Amino acid sequence: MGAEVPPRHPLRQLFGALTEKSFTEHLGWPDLNVTAYLSNLLVDFASTDQLYKVRSQHGKPLDTVVELLYESEVLYGAQSMERERDVHRHIGDFTLFMAGLFPEYLRRLKTAGLIYHKDFLVDYVKAGKRSYGIVAEMARNPGPDEPPLFRKLSENFELCVTGLGFVRSDLDRLRDPAYRHARDLLLN
């Protein structure tokens, strides 16, 4: 696993700024708890080790949602309710990340004849919403005034996917040579 990214690291600041901009300006949803969680998710998943951090009882990295769902069930793979919650949280995180930043991967799963792939029939949005909902239900001491974070993520999953799509667009634009040239001209 990679090292912890420091709070003032440029990557953390970039993802924080892009996430806040996307959710505030494009979506009109300035929820700092949600944007902070999602920007931290982007930082964590910048290390691909974190995408596949959940392991089976035999130590094998679980790299499909189907395997993660199986592992999350106490009757089958999960050893405790805490393990079930952690795996469901990862399912929510993984599906949100992939649907928001890499929708072309999900389209390819469905259209490229990858019927052999375990996730061929998995609806990432439904799986993510469900998993975040389970995490929210398992949360201890939810506040009466404000919905818990994971309930918000579950209920607004599609909006979060859209917000991460805006982040992806901004990241793509930052790599564009024409944009970089124009920025350099304006800032120098």
Predicted confidence (pLDDT) per residue in 102-134, tens digit:
999 888 877 766 566 677 778 889 999 999 999
- Residue 139's region, left for phi above 0, alpha for psi from -120 to 50, else beta, is beta
Residue 4 covered by a domain: no
Per the structure, the complete domain to which residue 122 belongs is given by 10-187
Predicted confidence (pLDDT) per residue in 58-99, tens digit:
889 998 888 898 888 765 555 788 888 999 999 999 999 999
Number of folded domains that form the chain:
1
Residue 68 covered by a domain: yes
Residue 2 covered by a domain: no
Residue 3 covered by a domain: no
Residue 114 covered by a domain: yes
Read off φ and ψ for residue 85, nearest 5 degrees: -60, -45
Structure tokens at 115: 């019927």
pTM of the model: 0.86
* Better-predicted residue by pLDDT, 43 or 184: 43
